[in-house]
Structure 1
């Protein structure tokens, strides 16, 4: 401290000399009254800190009628600090850290100096003193005036961490193989904190975490279970116990077989049939199972749907049909079935794909009753399926027709190759251009029951959808199921197409619809000469005998033909006015028209 005090005295002497120089230029020295004084105080006077903390101290220094007012803060040995606010004074050092901090002012007055004191991270517990000295030079005697204050910093270190204790129980005390054992480490504790983690080694190669895990042992034996607990300060403790596991008593023998029923069935190409997957002899019902049903030849038939029996919970069921329909795997649990006897657990829908025969084979990987006891599956039996070719196409007939505007014509909806008649169907006939023609009426064939038939014509006449059932038609060959009336609306052409959603025979078996054929319609509007109305075809022979468009065919039309023989309407439609069918329209056709009239 002597060296530092000498340094500040030297600084003060320099300041006194500076004061003399200033007085030569008219600046009077600090007053010469007898009340020379200096006082210093620290805030806080006492404080508490931990190793590594920073303590901020504010020193208030007041000087009256003195020269070279200054302040020094002496830090404990090995400690360092830095001035953060010198309140207009000249700090030393000007930056960085030091063990002694000092500030000098050119004029006396009251100042507040703020500085940070760094507590070393390796400081031991105890009281440490920061000594602060304020000083100045008496201008009358050139003697030094001082005042001293202190701040006591009490360093407190964290107490040593106490280790935790590990303890656990388990239940049941005499577990058997396959039985769930519950472990509970909630009795573990930490005297000065908390347990942060629990780690378990069950002695059979299995591990777990958490305070209350469960574990199942697969084999009988004695196992050493070790619990390791870690507290919030990373201290650990362990506890071990031995768990003796005995072999579980064998379950009573529950044997059954699984079959597919019926043992044989038949369908046709595109048709469907169903088979039941059956537990032949249940004892306590069926609560859960995993099974697969496979088709020997997926080109003959495909599995298309599965209906689970016994109302298994949605969360505990899974049905996976192979993309090619060759098999289905079923997992189901939480079922409620009949307790005894033959129990159907699933109904499987199979659709015919091609003519031929295929077998269905079941396999069962797990099967248990409603109490959770497993069955022994002594055997399985499959089924066979014969698929016959029952298919047909559907067409609209005739394939083409031609009418004039406002004229109507009919088309038949035809099942081309019936085998067993037509008992029911759903079909739609559509016009691709409703501005040319529109569907106006439908007559159902085969006498379907009124209660089981419905005809819906679109508001714009562009389509009609027909649902019909309980029909009685010819058993074989081409069968007309509906006659559709179409009316010409405007000059142009339109195509008729059909789509069939369902088609069955009179026994309720499905037809596979192999294809559909549509038809075309041409609507013309021909007005000859200056007549108001278009020509028409009274006898529907595709030629226009009603030349003047009055709706009648008589001698006046022969005259109209003669008078307008070269009219564009006639010459541009030669096939409609070529009454002698020689490929051209001329005066001879007038004679031919007359001959047609009188005959």
Structure 2
């Protein structure tokens, strides 16, 4: 467990781990000096967080300071940790200072930060500088949450929020998003009505959107983003236009961009239809009309030939894995390219040789209650996922997880993937470009088994013989350091010292020094 913190001080360049020096002692704190077991006795007393500036321009930076006071002292095998979580991620995070000295560094993509001390102190101070993404928009908020942990005790740190500042555009404009779309005959698609430059909020609007060819793109429905006290909106009988006329009971707050409504269009015959604003009227929350400086419509192309965005590829991940006899491997069913979300699918995973491995469990995500089935064969040879789900558009999605248990003998088996159908959120089937299965090898030389409470076996991601991916999720993250620290005395670790000899002692032996070495390796890789 850990927490974020940042404070003014000398910036340590880069995002790699930095080992700092305690101001009073002049000596660098290290973890590998603690090798004997002991009883944790340090008690958390008070915690505080200070953010120098809670409003920043996009690309701007500020310092955050976390201070934790304690009493008593660390046990001989105890560490003091602060972990910080950022939502969403910052553009950059840099350590500035630690008092006393310790080791600290940011996680992947600047979404988290971990600091570790092995020395006893009455007060622990961590200072960080955070930078907003350059593309942050005025009004965007960034939340900082943290946890401080010593031994078996954890406490939440005070939360903080940083808001992106900046001027809302002086000019007010209205547009449709996306600016273009494509569909097959009979499909439906949607366009958002977006107001830019609503500096005084939005209390009412009256605007008309027209289709240049309702035979190609017919307007069939609309929805308002906020509740209306009076809604006089209506769609033309032939679907050629919609008049969005609403006096809102739930007004929109001032913002750079506001989505006020969504219109639904049904694709008809092949061709192109332009959607444009015939009239626009937008009032602020005080009833004063904005001057609309510009409008921007959209174009719908209807064709029998599916757009490249309407093809998807499915696969099992990891594609190749090796485990020891009796161990378990978890696979993810992943789809790439679902530009219109996922509304349903029917897919089956089959084990090629059940004498090598069997499917023991499976979990489908974001399923519709009562409208989805997960069926595992009695002999563990296959699992079928079939039914309705609710996934938004994304470049990649994880649809399900499959647990596969290796037999007590060695061997190799395939896991074959077949897809009967997969459809988007509008019930239009995607064209499946590829469906790629996986291979599981069961070998005595496969490496250590899963650590306690972990589904997957650790993995050696770079072929150096060390299993940095402790939780077996195909990536080296701060979670691997934490799980390794918590389970360093388990049989899975102690019986496989060569796999976890991160501090390269000879002969190999797993100690707290290996936790320190793994943490340093993580921060240097981030």
Q: Same fold (TM over 0.5)?
A: no
TM-score (norm 2): 0.32
Q: Which has the higher contact order (CA 8 A, sep 6+)?
A: 2
TM-score (norm 1): 0.28
